[in-house]
Structure 1
Amino acid sequence: MENNIVLPEDVIYLLDTLNKNGYEAYIVGGCVRDSILGRQPQDWDITTSALPEETKSLFPHTFDTGIQHGTITVVRNKVNYEITTYRLDGEYHDGRHPDAVQFTPDLKEDLLRRDFTMNAIAYHPKEGFQDPFSGREDIARELIRGVGVPAKRFQEDALRMLRCVRFAAQLGFAVEEETRTAMAENAALIEKISAERIHEELDKLWRSPYPEKLPLLLESGLLPHIDHLWAEQMGRLGEGLIPQLKAAPNTSACRWTLVLQNYREAEAKAFCKKLKFDNSTMKEIVLYLRHFHEETPQTAYGVRKLAGTLGEDITRRLFRMQAILHDKTAAQKAENLLDQVLAAGDCLNLKGLAVNGEELMAAGIPKGKHLGAVLNALLEDVLREPAHNEKNYLLQEAQKRKDEV
């Protein structure tokens, strides 16, 4: 575990500037936690005794991120750094954001309002760690523990309950008993959280490296308050979902498809719309649900036809999920056939045909439905026999079909 943190030069500059002007300043939160764990922080957040206007006066390039909550963003060398004044949070009537904040000169009071002890650690290169809630000890024990009274932390911001499960799955940590109990007792508060934020946390959860932490979610009591049907389906899948998630391609659509594997297409669409999925991911999930219970193609023709419909990447991922859910040998054969088809450069769709609609119309095929029917017939011919994808051959075949209905 790291005893000292190597900070980027720009972060040191920000801390030094605040210090030289008489203010306390520390890096805080996730960047400290990740540094202790030897992980590369995604962001470097700073907490300070300086008021927002005082911070703004020290740096030439700033903008107001959440100035009502004490946060401004300093831009240095095209990188954004959030700097937040020490604060006390007021009441949380919406279960997510404080109604108001009160600035405080006391770092410990600022750390007390944070979610988990591992995220309530501050650090300064000259002063070392400020860790009043033993967060480093909990990190060493691989334990997630709510700061102060866990139930109060969840009542302030109900999303913290899902974040708790997500952190466990990302880090492989256990959840401390009082924190687990508080999560179960306050599960209904998740109903106050927006669908977008719930979706974001669940998406990170499915893609985390420790899906064996899934029982935390199943036992939390959160699922019925997110969606009743989904809670029932997850209960049926149970821990059998864990090895499936471990084996699946690490994309949102693939992982969510496994989570929704017993849904009908219409049910999946309704669920995705409820949780505000983007259209692209929703459509991909529906494609997988439509096809992965079908028989896996075992001929080059079948693979060409499927890849032409779904695209190369989705077809490959489909085969890999069929390997997880159905016949691994058949799925492996299908993926090998896909490799052969792609290596050979076989035509998979109308774009790959050696003739196009304009050339067929020039050859006398009338525009409209008949032209489309001829193109599709030529594609079917080429899918069955790739060597037929040659312009002269296809034009001759088109003439034969010229008068067909």
Structure 2
Amino acid sequence: MYINDLPAEFKAALPILETLENAGYEAYFVGGSVRDTLLEKPIHDVDIATSAYPEEVKTLFNSTVDTGIEHGTVMILDHGQGYETTTFRTESTYTDFRRPDEVTFVRSLAEDLKRRDFTVNALALKPNGEVVDLFDGVRDLQNKILRAVGQAEERFHEDALRMMRAVRFAAQLDFKIEEHTRAAIKDNAALLEHIAIERINVEFTKLLQGSNARYGLLEMMATKLNNYMPGLENVDIDLLGFAELLGQAQPKDDTQAWTLLAFELGLTPSDTVIFMKKWKQSAALIGTAKKSIALLNELRKGPVSAWQLYTTGQALENALAVADLSELEVDTQALATQFTALPIHDKRDLALTGADLTQELGLQPGPIFGKILHQVEQQVVAGERTNQASELLAVARTLAEKEKK
């Protein structure tokens, strides 16, 4: 099989392959970029595999970076673009189910390809556009089948994360997981305990935004992978409902995906923080999810106040997007309009500051500061006071006098 018109990304990298071949080595495009080209999808990273050993690669190019030289990978820099170039290799046993105990460089493409995870990722592409397909990966692409290379159990014992990659690819590519591969995932699901949560997070987050996220999530549950994922061990009923939502529409970004999951799990804002920290989420994502969940839980009960919208702040856009994805029957456009109409959107917008309390009222910094400013802020947000310095100062004076009594 040939690709007659190579994508621009491959054409730009052809000089790399030509340099390697002119020096007597083999060189191919490999991995996801070949798969996605055949699927007529946009490609991202262009990876190269070669029979040249790392030190041999480095002698051929002026600018290289040792990004993973112990595993055979050298980054070749060319016209501002970096190309990861990896020597053909074989791998020994994986006693930790994550990394090979030893890597051996070889000159054989076949030896290199047979260690890859799935047939659709074990394709190589020659500079002339010829596809090297040693494991019927093209046929699996055409049939939309995700199948492990060789013995699935061996592939998953080499790197247990491949089981998560299986359900992620199924969701992203809208492929069905082949029967033996699926059975091996179910039989070896417990190996996921050996994998760092950060790596699982990456795959799971991509799954949730896949075009067939519903299928990927259902397969994750059917193979019991969720039993080895923090906070998802005994929540199958909630996950089933979550899967149905994902069958209707997918979140547009990571924060929406994780907020929707927390909402469907019925978490409180504080529970959301605990759950997200177990997954090693960023502080920004956790903060937005916490505020979003607080508002969403109130919307479950009924209409929300101006203050509740105000305290949601910049997280409102995320909260309303999640509300649209969920089964909540709320008018999110009306809520967005209501928020826009608020007299202030942040305490920094308040026409009264702590300095005003000191200079105009002679108050000393302390607990009373925060109490007065908070009450004034609430009154402005509720529309009980206009955000005018003179009016707010008068309110503050009255509140201060009450506090002194």
Common topology (TM > 0.5):
yes
| 1:285 aligned partner | 289
| Inter-CA distance 248–38: structure 2 relative to 1 (3 Å threshold) | closer
Aligned-partner Cα distance in 2 for 1:324–1:6 = 35
| Inter-CA distance 127–284: structure 2 relative to 1 (3 Å threshold) | closer
Aligned-partner Cα distance in 1 for 2:357–2:402 = 14
Aligned-partner Cα distance in 2 for 1:387–1:341 = 17
| 2:227 aligned partner | 224
| 1:244 aligned partner | 245
Asked if the contact 2:293/2:319 (under 8 Å) is kept, the reply is no
| Inter-CA distance 327–157: structure 2 relative to 1 (3 Å threshold) | closer
Shift of residue 3, structure 1, vs aligned partner: 3.0
| 1:362 aligned partner | 359
The 3-state SS of whatever aligns with 1:311 is helix
| Amino acid across the alignment from 1:219 | A
Instruction: Tell me which moved more, 240-249 or 358-367.
Output: 240-249
The 3-state SS of whatever aligns with 2:257 is helix
The 3-state SS of whatever aligns with 2:74 is strand
Aligned-partner Cα distance in 2 for 1:323–1:345 = 22
Aligned-partner Cα distance in 1 for 2:37–2:114 = 21
- Report 1:368-379 matches (<5 A): 368-379=366-377
Shift of residue 365, structure 1, vs aligned partner: 4.5
Aligned-partner Cα distance in 2 for 1:142–1:39 = 14
| Inter-CA distance 16–323: structure 2 relative to 1 (3 Å threshold) | closer
1:9-42 residue CA offsets vs partner (Å, 9 max, x unmatched): 4311101111111111010001101111122221
Runs of 4+ aligned residues of structure 1 deviating over 6 Å after TM superposition are none
Shift of residue 112, structure 1, vs aligned partner: 0.6
| Amino acid across the alignment from 2:55 | E
Shift of residue 387, structure 1, vs aligned partner: 6.7
- Report 1:42-57 matches (<5 A): 42-57=44-59
| 1:3 aligned partner | 3
Aligned-partner Cα distance in 2 for 1:154–1:340 = 52
Aligned-partner Cα distance in 2 for 1:340–1:264 = 24
**Unpaired stretches in structure 2, ≥5 consecutive residues:** none
Does residue 276 (structure 1) correspond to residue 280 (structure 2)? The answer is yes
| Amino acid across the alignment from 1:201 | E
Asked if the contact 1:268/1:286 (under 8 Å) is kept, the reply is yes
Aligned-partner Cα distance in 2 for 1:356–1:267 = 34
| 1:164 aligned partner | 166
| Amino acid across the alignment from 2:82 | N
Residue number among 191, 194, 209 corresponding to 1:192 in the alignment: 194
| Inter-CA distance 40–388: structure 2 relative to 1 (3 Å threshold) | same
Shift of residue 264, structure 1, vs aligned partner: 4.6
Does residue 310 (structure 1) correspond to residue 312 (structure 2)? The answer is yes
| 1:391 aligned partner | 389
Asked if the contact 1:249/1:317 (under 8 Å) is kept, the reply is no
Shift of residue 210, structure 1, vs aligned partner: 1.4
Asked if the contact 2:147/2:181 (under 8 Å) is kept, the reply is yes
The 3-state SS of whatever aligns with 1:3 is coil
**Unpaired stretches in structure 1, ≥5 consecutive residues:** none
TM value normalised by structure 2: 0.90
Aligned-partner Cα distance in 1 for 2:171–2:72 = 31
Shift of residue 49, structure 1, vs aligned partner: 0.9
Asked if the contact 2:351/2:387 (under 8 Å) is kept, the reply is yes
Shift of residue 215, structure 1, vs aligned partner: 1.3
Aligned-partner Cα distance in 2 for 1:130–1:353 = 66
The 3-state SS of whatever aligns with 2:266 is coil
| Inter-CA distance 56–386: structure 2 relative to 1 (3 Å threshold) | farther
Aligned-partner Cα distance in 2 for 1:45–1:323 = 39
Q: Superposition RMSD on alpha carbons, in Å?
A: 2.3
| Inter-CA distance 287–366: structure 2 relative to 1 (3 Å threshold) | same
| Inter-CA distance 183–327: structure 2 relative to 1 (3 Å threshold) | closer
Aligned-partner Cα distance in 2 for 1:273–1:138 = 38
Instruction: Tell me which moved more, 381-390 or 211-220.
Output: 381-390
Shift of residue 318, structure 1, vs aligned partner: 2.1
| Amino acid across the alignment from 1:123 | L
Q: Structure 1 vs Structure 2: percent identity of aligned residues?
A: 34
Instruction: Tell me which moved more, 85-94 or 271-280.
Output: 271-280
Instruction: Tell me which moved more, 106-115 or 243-252.
Output: 243-252
Shift of residue 212, structure 1, vs aligned partner: 1.9
Shift of residue 249, structure 1, vs aligned partner: 4.1
1:346-374 residue CA offsets vs partner (Å, 9 max, x unmatched): 21332111232222322115132223222
| Inter-CA distance 374–123: structure 2 relative to 1 (3 Å threshold) | same
For this pair of structures, how many residues does the alignment match?
395
1:313-348 residue CA offsets vs partner (Å, 9 max, x unmatched): x223323434554541xx21x541432542x46213
Shift of residue 207, structure 1, vs aligned partner: 2.0
Asked if the contact 2:295/2:312 (under 8 Å) is kept, the reply is no
Aligned-partner Cα distance in 2 for 1:247–1:386 = 40
| Inter-CA distance 22–327: structure 2 relative to 1 (3 Å threshold) | closer
The 3-state SS of whatever aligns with 2:43 is coil
| Amino acid across the alignment from 1:159 | L
Asked if the contact 1:167/1:173 (under 8 Å) is kept, the reply is yes
